[in-house]
A and B are shown apart, each in its own frame.
Chain A
Amino acid sequence: MEGTQTQNEVQFSEKAMAEIRRYISHYPEDRKKSAILPILHIAQAEFGGWVSPQVQDKVAEILDIQPIEVYEVSSFYTMFNLKPVGKHVLEVCRTGPCMLRGADHLIEHLENRLGCHVGENSADGMFTLKTVECLAACGMGPMLQIREKYYENLDPQKMDQLLDDLRKE
């Protein structure tokens, strides 16, 4: 988390703003709105793993569009968390090929270990457990994604190890 956010003001870090400007430069001048998805990704990384309405309003301001145009987009794409999340968001693939190799068991195992259901945060607020659809890792399932990283060929033992490592971070 690098940006700052108070009740009334949302401020991206200079590094993030530079990245945002770089993305905006990729599209024709009158098509700034094209940068909305890259900017939402940057915003999510900047402000604690989710995009609050205030953050989304700021994105609208940067792109010169109505806030509703951002809400429409952020609620369509599943990668954007619209509610606060834990420090680590575990996104476990639940689709066919991963299921064939044991994704259901992995999800059940995680629910037990974290003491929460899919879609919820663990009691200590450290983890958010999400299931997602196919992440293009079908030959390496079961697998999950944490931020930008894929963890593949998982089983309950490897999963426990991973959770331990994450807790220590």
Chain B
Amino acid sequence: MGLKILTEHINVPGINTLETYRKMGGYRSVEKALKTMTPDEVVEEVKKSGLRGRGGAGFPTGMKWSFLAKPEGKPRYLVCNADESEPGTFKDRVLMEKIPHALIEGMITSSYALGARTSYIYIRGELMFVLRILEKAIAECYAAGLLGENILGSGYSLDLHVHPGGGAYICGEETALLESLEGKRGNPRNKPPFPAVWGLYGCPTVVNNVESIASVPWIVNNTGEEYAKIGVGRSTGTKLISASGHINNPGVYEIELGLPVEEFLFSDEYCGGIWKGRKFKAIVAGGSSVPILPGELFLKTAEGTPRVMTYESLSEGGFVSGTMLGSGGFIVMDDTTCIVRNTWNFSRFYHHESCGQCSPCREGTGWMEKILHRIEHGHGHMHDIDLLVNVSKQIEGNTICPLGDAAAWPVASAVRHFRHEFEWHVKHPEKATAPGAVYSGAEDLAFA
């Protein structure tokens, strides 16, 4: 059993109520920070902790905080990104649903550190039932003097509101989220300026993921140095992993960074191995946007080093033979999975979710989906396979926001690692389009 920072009390009955949450030690960080620390000292602890943004990009949270501009006469905002929509990722939802106060405590402490007087939790609209849970918890906090004017007599005041989205993956991109919070279409902004300077309503703003913010109370309570001791190297602390797909125990697991991936995937404490006694074929390890890897390249790097659950280990080998930890969304595929179908499915997702603002993404995501749809349904040509990769290259790096990259990587990596499956679909459409048909090896490629 590894150390649990976020989910230690997740199964305690009534942990969703303020009373129980406080009984389990909740809101100590608010007391400590507001009464005994300056805001800068809180920022310093978070910096020391090495905590990295848990939304997917892995940017150091403390550094992001220290970039926040502090001009006179302008309010500053903390906005929590609870727009969890990355396929394969459902950790924030589970955390908020079960322990809403973990996020709220983090919001109060973090808002204090950043000097925000009004903070927002932007939650995806589909999670309206979680919004209700959060609003109830917030009301409890107002009643207990943990929110509102003069929190716990410290002189610090904070209003915290929950804001529902309307159904758009793109609003997980921080500037699209801010546009959406301002009541507009979720079109990402051109950067610079970054939100730290020009964010919500043109004011300096920090946008942080749910899990990042929920990690702050522990850091404040136990110091950043202690947090940095957990994990390996630059991957400090614990991480929530959403595990889904063809495994025995799908669910959300809190792990200490540095856990061997093999243990995570196969031990009964976590995923419990591949379901139905089947073989491990492939995995998308960081939410749908990251490159797909064949099972063997996931367990061990190309050099044969066993991988561990850290940002660095999973990306070893770059895009040639590595992937990314991303948001920690593990989508596991067994040997009955058709990679072409899976790639088409993800491609359809990005096509559906492109905001349509910039041309490479608007046009390119649809184009890739159409090509993949053709290949999957037996109407592909050999040259389509290279075309796919080429189109993905035309999108990658050339768009306003990272959705373009997120759409390009799954396609490029699927062709890189599973090219033979695409070729099989082109060469033997009658076989490949049969219900449940899966490429089973090189012999399938030979001409009959």
Of the residues A73, A80, A96, A137, contact of B288 by C-beta under 8 Å: A96
Contact, CB under 8 Å: B349 / A96: yes
Query: Is A54 engaged at the interface, CB distance under 8 Å to the other chain?
Result: no
Chain B residues near A137 (CB, 8 Å)?
A: 90, 93
Query: Contact residue range for chain B?
Result: 35 or more
Chain A residues near B93 (CB, 8 Å)?
A: 136-137
CB under 8 Å from chain B, chain A span 140-164:
140-141, 145, 148-150
Chain B residues near A92 (CB, 8 Å)?
A: none
Contact, CB under 8 Å: B252 / A139: yes
Query: Contact residue range for chain A?
Result: 35 or more
Query: Is B309 engaged at the interface, CB distance under 8 Å to the other chain?
Result: no
1/0 per position for B310-354, CB-CB distance to A under 8 A? 000000000000000000010101000100011001100100110
Q: Which residue of B lies closest to A73 (CB)?
A: B185
Chain B residues near A41 (CB, 8 Å)?
A: 125, 128, 164, 166
CA distance A97 to B349 in the complex (A): 12
Chain A residues near B126 (CB, 8 Å)?
A: 79, 132, 135-136, 145
Query: Is B124 engaged at the interface, CB distance under 8 Å to the other chain?
Result: yes
CB under 8 Å from chain A, chain B span 122-152:
124-129, 132
CA distance A96 to B85 in the complex (A): 12
Q: Interface stretch among B20-28, B175-183, B222-230?
A: B175-183
Contact, CB under 8 Å: A76 / B186: yes
CA distance A33 to B246 in the complex (A): 44
Q: Interface stretch among B237-245, B295-303, B373-381?
A: B237-245
Chain A residues near B346 (CB, 8 Å)?
A: 95-96
**Smallest CB separation, B284 vs chain A (Å):** 8
1/0 per position for A28-62, CB-CB distance to B under 8 A? 10011111111011000000000000000000000
- A37-B166 contact, Cβ under 8 Å, with A96-B342, A139-B90, A139-B250: yes
Chain B residues near A32 (CB, 8 Å)?
A: 183
Chain B residues near A77 (CB, 8 Å)?
A: 125, 165-168, 186
- A78-B84 contact, Cβ under 8 Å, with A28-B201, A33-B183, A34-B183: no
CA distance A40 to B201 in the complex (A): 21
**Smallest CB separation, A90 vs chain B (Å):** 14
Contact, CB under 8 Å: B88 / A38: no
**Smallest CB separation, B178 vs chain A (Å):** 10
Closest 6 CB pairs of A and B: A77-B166, A79-B167, A139-B250, A33-B183, A138-B244, A78-B167
Residues of A with Cβ closer than 8 Å to B? 26, 28, 31-38, 40-41, 63, 69, 72-74, 76-80, 94-97, 99-101, 132-141, 145, 148-150
Given A73-B183, A76-B168, 6 extra CB contacts under 8 A: A37-B180, A38-B163, A38-B164, A63-B183, A74-B166, A100-B245
A-B pairs with beta carbons under 8 Å apart, 29 shown: A32-B183, A33-B183, A33-B184, A34-B183, A37-B164, A37-B180, A38-B163, A38-B164, A41-B128, A41-B166, A72-B185, A76-B185, A77-B165, A77-B166, A78-B168, A95-B349, A99-B342, A100-B245, A132-B126, A134-B87, A134-B288, A134-B349, A135-B126, A136-B89, A136-B90, A136-B126, A137-B93, A141-B244, A145-B126
